[in-house]
């Protein structure tokens, strides 16, 4: 499939953001055919190039993965010439992605009011720690701060113990990129209908807070403050993590009384599912520790493979808690093509996560890994803006590119 066949072919995106949150929106769009121009400062570049595990070419594996499918150019937006060049690029673009602290682009004379005059159909994604409004709009923040502010970190960890990072990943950044892509798609659709673009405004914490199921209505109605529960959840039990006889960890989820009855049959204790025993959900919630203890004792006497076979046969949702080493050996990941191997001219063979979601006719395409610093500057200026070689040389001599 060619780039022109993809759903976002013909959409041009200017990614002037740094690190993950904003740029990940550009990555998603690039996976589906958008032309994404990654704009970096000519001296410092995007710090993401140095964030993570370094490679022989100097850029990290994180950069190679999350800056894939993007053309890379340099431009100092703070200089008069850079400012003017950027406006010319905006005139030819559909989307601008930025995640500077609110007010930064305005200080450079490149705020929304200016850019929408240049291009009325422009869609602008603005991701910041707390959004463009409110008393905290000017505060800096990263994913860890967002996890705490959103309420997620408070829920992560064992009861009475220190709150933990929910996985050693920048979840809020990636989630903001996903929400950003959804917002940009909706805004582009509206621009098609009306000829008018708009701003998509996301605070990092909002991207996570929106995912925390019923904690807001439960507090508003009943004053319930959910506490840390380790692997448990408040609504159902057993619904957690247990270790098998041979040392593997499994996740098991009994989200209904029917599923619990199936588990009881597998455990060889069907009587536990009776109406006067642990069958009703309310009984299990009232006897959570006892219920979890019974499951832990049974799982601890089973080898992983035999347990999985028994649960699968009975229709009990159960699965492994995988390390990345497990994932690389898993046949489901292989069958779905979730890991993609590409040949990169700078680092050789590299394995990257595939794009999501899978579309039946126009799936995501990984054309190349993250490019070298400024690799496409000349081509973009010469081909898109029709600058002469002398124009480009003058910008480079002045430190603008």
Q: Does the domain at residues 3-210+355-397 carry the CATH identifier 3.40.50.10540?
A: yes
Q: What is the pLDDT of residues 208-261, one digit of tens each?
A: 999 999 999 999 999 999 999 999 999 999 999 999 999 999 999 999 999 999
Active site residues: 173
- pLDDT score at 349: 96
Residue 79 region, left (φ>0) first, then alpha (ψ -120 to 50), else beta? Answer: beta
The CA distances from residue 201 to 24, 122, 127, 278, 335, in Å, are 15, 14, 6, 47, 37
Taking residues 35-50, what's their average pLDDT?
Answer: 96
Give the helix/strand (H/E) hosting 216: helix 215-222
- pLDDT score at 167: 81
Of 22, 67, 69, nearest in space to 49 by CA = 67
Of 317, 315, 325, 314, nearest in space to 248 by CA = 325
- pLDDT score at 5: 86
- pLDDT score at 3: 62
List of E strands, 192-331: 199-203, 239-243, 249-253, 318-320
Instruction: Count CB-CB contacts under 10 A for residue 78.
Output: 14
Taking residues 155-167, what's their average pLDDT?
Answer: 92
Q: Is the pLDDT of residue 273 over 70?
A: yes
Taking residues 49-69, what's their average pLDDT?
Answer: 96
Of 32, 97, 4, 62, nearest in space to 357 by CA = 32
Q: Is the pLDDT of residue 2 over 70?
A: no
Exposed/middle/buried for residue 87 (C-beta within 10 Å: 0-12, 13-18, 19+): middle
Q: Is 249 helix (H, G, I), strand (E, B) or coil?
A: strand
Binned at pLDDT 50, 70 and 90, residue 68 comes out as very high
Give the helix/strand (H/E) hosting 381: none
Of 109, 100, 176, 179, nearest in space to 138 by CA = 100
- pLDDT score at 159: 95
Taking residues 298-303, what's their average pLDDT?
Answer: 97
Q: Is the pTM of this model over 0.75?
A: yes
Q: Where are the domains of the chain?
A: 3-210+355-397, 239-327
Q: Are strands 348-353 and 339-344 parallel, antiparallel or unpaired?
A: antiparallel
- pLDDT score at 212: 96
Contact 228, 154 (CB under 8 A): yes
Contact 120, 90 (CB under 8 A): no
Residue 54 DSSP code: B
Contact 342, 366 (CB under 8 A): yes
Q: Is the pLDDT of residue 281 over 70?
A: yes
Averaged pLDDT score across all residues of the chain: 96
Taking residues 363-390, what's their average pLDDT?
Answer: 97
Q: Is 22 helix (H, G, I), strand (E, B) or coil?
A: helix
- pLDDT score at 260: 97
- pLDDT score at 166: 83
Binned at pLDDT 50, 70 and 90, residue 169 comes out as confident
- Within its chain, how far is the Cα of 391 from the centroid? 39
Q: Is the pLDDT of residue 1 over 70?
A: no
- The CATH code belonging to domain 239-327 is 3.30.1540.10
The residue whose two tokens read 């910008």 is 395
Q: What is the pLDDT of residues 114-132, one digit of tens each?
A: 999 999 999 999 999 999 9
What's the chain's length in residues? 401
The residue whose two tokens read 């070689």 is 389
Contact 150, 212 (CB under 8 A): yes
Query: Percentage of the chain surpassing pLDDT 70?
Result: 99
């Amino acid at each position: 499939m060619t780039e022109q066949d993809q759903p976002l072919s013909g959409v041009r995106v200017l990614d002037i953001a740094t690190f993950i949150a904003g740029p990940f929106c550009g990555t998603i769009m690039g996976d589906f055919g958008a032309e994404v121009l990654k704009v970096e400062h000519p001296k410092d570049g995007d710090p993401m190039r140095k964030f993570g595990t370094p490679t022989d070419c100097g850029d990290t594996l994180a950069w190679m993965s999350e800056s894939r499918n993007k053309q890379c150019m340099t431009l100092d937006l703070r200089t008069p010439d850079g400012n003017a060049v950027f406006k010319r690029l905006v005139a030819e673009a559909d989307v601008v992605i930025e995640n500077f602290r609110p007010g930064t682009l305005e200080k450079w004379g490149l705020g929304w009011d200016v850019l929408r005059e240049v291009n009325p159909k422009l869609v602008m994604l603005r991701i910041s720690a707390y959004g463009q409004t409110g008393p905290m709009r000017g505060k800096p923040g990263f994913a860890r701060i967002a996890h705490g502010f959103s309420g997620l970190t408070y829920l992560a960890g064992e009861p009475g113990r220190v709150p933990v990072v929910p996985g050693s990943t920048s979840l809020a950044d990636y989630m903001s990129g996903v929400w950003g892509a959804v917002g940009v798609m909706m805004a582009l659709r509206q621009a098609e209908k009306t000829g008018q673009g708009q701003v998509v405004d996301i605070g990092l914490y909002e991207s996570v807070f929106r995912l925390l199921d019923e904690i807001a209505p439960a507090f508003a109605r009943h004053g319930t403050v959910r506490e840390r529960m380790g692997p448990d959840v408040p609504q159902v039990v057993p619904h957690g993590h247990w270790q098998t006889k041979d040392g593997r960890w499994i996740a098991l989820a009994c989200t209904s009384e029917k599923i619990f009855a199936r588990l009881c049959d597998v455990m060889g204790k069907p009587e536990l599912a009776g109406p006067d025993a642990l069958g009703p959900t309310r009984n299990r919630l009232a006897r959570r520790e006892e219920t979890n203890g019974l499951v832990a004792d049974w799982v601890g006497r089973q080898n992983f493979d035999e347990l999985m076979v028994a649960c699968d046969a009975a229709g009990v949702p159960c699965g492994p808690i995988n390390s990345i080493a497990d994932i690389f050996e898993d046949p489901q990941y292989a069958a779905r093509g979730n890991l993609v191997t590409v040949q990169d001219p700078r680092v050789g063979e590299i394995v990257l996560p595939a794009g999501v979601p899978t579309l039946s006719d126009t799936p995501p395409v990984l054309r190349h890994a993250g490019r070298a610093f400024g690799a496409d500057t000349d081509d973009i200026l010469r081909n898109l803006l029709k600058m002469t070689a002398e124009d480009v040389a003058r910008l480079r001599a002045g430190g603008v590119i």
